[in-house]
A and B are shown apart, each in its own frame.
Chain A
Amino acid sequence: MLKLKHISVTFNEGTPDEKKALKDIHLELEKGDFVTVIGSNGAGKSTLMNVISGALYPDVGDVLINGKQVVDLPEYKRSKYIGRVFQDPMAGTAPSMTIEENLAMAYSRNKKRRLTPGVTKQRREWFREQLKTLNLGLEDRLNAKVGLLSGGERQALSLLMSTFTTPDILLLDEHTAALDPSRAELITNLTKKVVEESELTTLMVTHNMQQALDLGNRLIMMDKGQIIFEAHGEDKQKLTIQDLMNEFQRIRGTQFGDDRAVLM
Chain B
Amino acid sequence: MFISLFGAVESGFIYAIMALGVYLTFRVLDFPDLTVEGSFVTGASVAAFSIVQGIPPIVATVLALFAGFIAGCITGLLHTKGKINSLLSGILMMTALYSINLRIMDQPTLSLLNETTIFDQLKAAWANTGIDAALNGLLGAVGLEKFPATWSILIVMVIVAFIIKFLTDYYLKTEVGLATRAIGDNKKMIRSLSANTDNLIIVGVGISNSFVALAGALIAQLGGFSDVNMGLGLIVIGLASIIIGEALFGTKTVVRATLAVILGAVIYRIIVTLALRVDFLETGDMKLITAVIVVIALVTPKIVQGRREKMRRAQKRQQLKAGGEGRA
Mutual binders A and B: yes
Could you say which of B171, B190, B196, B197 contacts A105, with CB atoms under 8 Å apart?
B190
A109 touches B194 (CB 8 A): yes
A104 touches B175 (CB 8 A): yes
Stretch at the interface among A6-14, A28-36, A94-102, A218-226: A94-102
Q: DSSP majority for the A interface?
A: loop
Could you say which of A80, A92, A108 contacts B189, with CB atoms under 8 Å apart?
A92
Q: Within 8 Å CB of B185, what residues of A?
A: 94-97
Contacts A105-B178, A115-B176, A117-B174 given; does A93 touch B194 at CB 8 Å: no
B177 CB-CB contact with A under 8 Å = yes
B195 touches A94 (CB 8 A): no
B173 CB-CB contact with A under 8 Å = yes
- Compute how far the CA of A78 lies from the CA of B195 in the bound complex, rounded to whole angstroms: 10
Contacts A76-B197, A91-B186 given; does A104 touch B178 at CB 8 Å: yes
Count B interface residues, CB 8 Å: 23
Size bin of chain A's contact surface: 20 to 34
| Chain B positions 180 through 219: 1 when the CB is less than 8 Å from some CB of chain A, otherwise 0 | 0110011011111111110000000000000000000000
Q: Within 8 Å CB of B188, what residues of A?
A: 86, 91
A113 touches B176 (CB 8 A): yes
Q: Within 8 Å CB of B174, what residues of A?
A: 113-118
A75 touches B190 (CB 8 A): no
- Compute how far the CA of A113 lies from the CA of B177 in the bound complex, rounded to whole angstroms: 9
Q: Within 8 Å CB of B179, what residues of A?
A: 105, 108, 113
Q: Within 8 Å CB of B170, what residues of A?
A: 117
A118 touches B186 (CB 8 A): no
A101 touches B178 (CB 8 A): yes
A84 touches B192 (CB 8 A): yes
Residue of A nearest to B186 (CB): A94
Residue of A nearest to B177 (CB): A118
A46 CB-CB contact with B under 8 Å = no
A245 CB-CB contact with B under 8 Å = no
A108 touches B186 (CB 8 A): no
A79 CB-CB contact with B under 8 Å = yes
A119 touches B191 (CB 8 A): no
| Chain B positions 88 through 132: 1 when the CB is less than 8 Å from some CB of chain A, otherwise 0 | 000000000000000000000000000000000000000000000
- Compute how far the CA of A75 lies from the CA of B192 in the bound complex, rounded to whole angstroms: 7
Contacts A94-B182, A101-B178 given; does A80 touch B194 at CB 8 Å: yes
A77 CB-CB contact with B under 8 Å = yes
Q: Within 8 Å CB of A86, what residues of B?
A: 188, 192
Q: Within 8 Å CB of B195, what residues of A?
A: 76, 105, 108, 113
A94 touches B191 (CB 8 A): no
Residue of A nearest to B198 (CB): A76
- Compute how far the CA of A92 lies from the CA of B190 in the bound complex, rounded to whole angstroms: 8
Could you say which of B173, B175, B189 contacts A113, with CB atoms under 8 Å apart?
B175
Q: Within 8 Å CB of B176, what residues of A?
A: 113-115
Residue of B nearest to A88 (CB): B188
A176 CB-CB contact with B under 8 Å = no
Could you say which of B171, B186, B193, B197 contacts A109, with CB atoms under 8 Å apart?
B193
Please provide the chain A residues from 139 to 178 with a CB less than 8 Å away from any CB of chain B in the complex: 161-162
Q: Within 8 Å CB of B197, what residues of A?
A: 76
| Chain A positions 102 through 146: 1 when the CB is less than 8 Å from some CB of chain B, otherwise 0 | 001110111001111111000000000000000000000000000
B175 touches A106 (CB 8 A): no
- Compute how far the CA of A44 lies from the CA of B191 in the bound complex, rounded to whole angstroms: 22
- Compute how far the CA of A97 lies from the CA of B181 in the bound complex, rounded to whole angstroms: 8
Contacts A91-B188, A97-B181, A104-B178 given; does A115 touch B193 at CB 8 Å: no
Q: Within 8 Å CB of A97, what residues of B?
A: 178, 181-182, 185
9 contacts between A and B (CB under 8 A): A76-B195, A79-B194, A95-B186, A97-B185, A101-B178, A108-B193, A114-B174, A116-B174, A162-B192
What 9 pairs between A and B have smallest CB-CB spacing?
A94-B185, A79-B194, A113-B175, A118-B178, A94-B186, A94-B182, A118-B175, A109-B193, A115-B174
Q: Using a CB–CB distance below 8 Å, which chain A residues touch chain B?
A: 53, 75-80, 82, 84, 86, 90-97, 101, 104-106, 108-110, 113-119, 161-162
